[in-house]
Amino acid sequence: MVRVIFLILVILLLNSCVRYSENEYGFFQPKHPNYSLKDKKGFIFPDSLDTLNVYRFYGYYENNKLVKDLNFGKWAVYKKFYRNGQAFSFGTEKLEENNLRPKQRLTDYYFYNSKENIINYETFVIAEGGKYIIIKYKISNNGDTLTSINNGKKSHVYIKTIIPDKWEKN
C-alpha cells in the first residue's frame, strides 16, 4: 500500500513540474503563458514583412553554403505573421487554406528591431520540460526571405510563398 501511495505522489509531483499541456488540437502549450515579447512596448511593424502570405522553410547554411532541405518537395514548415506582433508556425505535407486558421495553432510573438533589421521571434517549445526561445531572423529588403542568425552566423532560411488569391488572407 505504501508503494502505491508513493507511486501516486511521484506521478503527481512529475505532472506538476511539467510546464505544458496538450490542447484539444493536439498541440503542446504552456500551462501559464509568459511570453516576453507579447505586448512589448515600442512595437514597430517591419514594412518588408509579408502578412498576407507565408514563409516556407527552404534550407540551412552549412560551411557558408545554402543547402536545400531534403524534404522541400514534401513536408514543410511554414511561418505566418500578423501586423500586431503575433505569428505562428506549422508543418504540413500540403499547404491548404485550413492550415492558416490561427485558432487551431499556438500563438508565437515577434518584435522588430529596426536598427539591426532583425525580427526576434519567440515561441514555446517542449524541450527540457517546456521553455520559451527567441530566434533572430534577418529579413531581406524586399521581404522575400527570412534568415535566422545564430551567434552571428546565418542558419535557417525561409522563403516567401504566395498563397492562392481565393484563400482567406487574414
As given in the structure block, the three cell numbers for residue 101 are 486558421
Tens-digit pLDDT profile for residues 37-81 = 888 888 989 999 999 999 999 999 998 899 998 888 888 999 999
* CB-based contact 135:119 (threshold 8 Å): no
Task: List the alpha helices (DSSP H) in 18-88.
Answer: none
Enumerate domains of the chain plus CATH numbers: 2-161 (2.40.128.640)
Identify the bridge partners of residue 133 per DSSP, sorted by sequence position. Answer: 123
Tens-digit pLDDT profile for residues 114-149 = 999 999 999 888 776 677 889 999 999 999 999 999
What's the whole-model pTM score? 0.81
Q: Is 62 helix (H, G, I), strand (E, B) or coil?
A: strand
